[in-house]
Structure formats: structure tokens, C-alpha cells
Structure 1
Amino acid sequence: MTGRPFIDAALLGAHGHSAAPICFRKGPAMSSDIRFALLPSLNAGAQIRAFRDLNALARAIHRERGAAPLDLNEVEDMEIAGRTEATRGIEIWTMNHGNDRDRFIGYAFLDNAGLDVLRAALRRNRPAAQANQAEAA
């Protein structure tokens, strides 16, 4: 193949090959009773980690991040298979010392709650070492 998809498609079509069917990509499948989850990606085969409450999700995010600062961004259009409407979530990244995105943790699904709800939960469930540093500053 040439690396130029429009030429590849023309060549395949000229030799009698049919075009690939149009299919709409949906994200990972998730049970309707899950209220809080961490999705490592929005691919259909992604392994979802479900949590019983928001505090458990916040503790899992703290474990993943270690001592690194977080970059949290609200996402309005997550596509979850089996749901007709787009879903709100939070994109979570760790930051390096230069304030650049370092490592992608995942998307937090909060039962359509927003960024302020996750920030409050992260503050409530901050590990003791980080809480002591924040009080000293």
C-alpha cells in the first residue's frame, strides 16, 4: 500500500474489490448499573474498572498517580456502547516537572457528574502524606 488512503481506495476499487462497510465506532460496553468507573481508553475492547462509590474511584486515582500532579479535563462526548446519548466524563493525566502531560490514567465515568464533583472527592481522599504537605505550604 502507498500510505495514501485515497489512492489505495481507488486502486482497490479499480480491481473489483468492494469498499469496507461503514460502521459507527462505539466505545466500551458498560453495564447500566455502573455509576463510577475508570476507563483506560475509549476503545471497544477496553477493560473497565468499576467502583462502588466515588470515594473508591478517587482512592484508585491517587494510587495510580503516586505523587505526580494531575491534569483533569471535562469530556462531554464519551461514547459508551449501549447508550444512545453522549456521556460526560473526566480525562485524567499525570503531569511531569515541566507541567507537561506525562502519563494518561484514563477517563473517569461519574454517572454524568462533572469536574467539580471529582475534584472534591480527590481532596477528601487525599493520602495522608500529600495532605500534610498541603497543610505545611
Structure 2
Amino acid sequence: MKTQRIIPFLFAALLLVFTSCDKDDEDKEPSRSDLLTTGLWTGSSVYIQGQDISQLLRDSANFDVRQLSTRFDKNGEYRETFGRTIVGTWEFVNNEQEILFDKGTNQAYTVKINKLNATELYYEQEIDGLPFEFRFSH
């Protein structure tokens, strides 16, 4: 009689072990597209050659990067807001190391991704011959 009571528990335990061993989905890293398109990116700082120039830009150019935000959609559209909203297209280029904005237009430009994870996006854009690194966070 005791054996009949134990068999259902053993079966349940074996079932639990075999179903919990398949962790492929849990261990899978999110794609760069998934990371980029998971919410609103808000500007946090601007760097040139390792120096944070955010305050300098606020004081001298009236540019507060904290007022800049961008949302990337999986359909290849982006919305950038800084006082007003600009809508355009984006796509990865160069083995997903760069983002090409507004391909095929006279406003097209490319940025180099320096860092992209679940909470941070850093990209570098050349402006007037200088490499500006814009840092964003969620």
C-alpha cells in the first residue's frame, strides 16, 4: 500500500526534473534588436574623448541631452523627441555595430554603437569632425 502512495510522487518529481532541465529559452541572450527596441531611451550625458561635456552643452549651446529621447520600433521606425518629435527609419548595418538612420534620404546618417545592453545605449556620432558619444538609459 505504501508503494502505491509513493509512485505518484516519484512520477511528479521525475516530470518536474525533466521539464526544468530545458533552459535553452532562459539562457538565450536577447538579440541586439530586442535590446534596442525595448522601450524609451532617454539621454543621460554627452562625451567627447572621454570627457563629459553635458554641462558645457547646457550652458553654452542650450542643449540638455536629458530632454532627448528615442524609441526604436521593431518595424524599423524610430521616434526622436527633443522639443518636437521626428519620425524616421532605422536599421542595423556593419554586422549590427552601427545604426543607419533615414536611409535613402538627404538626412541619412550613421552612428557607431559603443555599448548596448538592457539598460544602456551609447552611440558615437561625428559632428563637425568630432566624435560625440551620446549616452542613453532606460
- Normalised to the residue count of structure 2, the TM-score between the two structures is 0.23
More strand by share: 2
Larger radius of gyration: 2
- Normalised to the residue count of structure 1, the TM-score between the two structures is 0.23
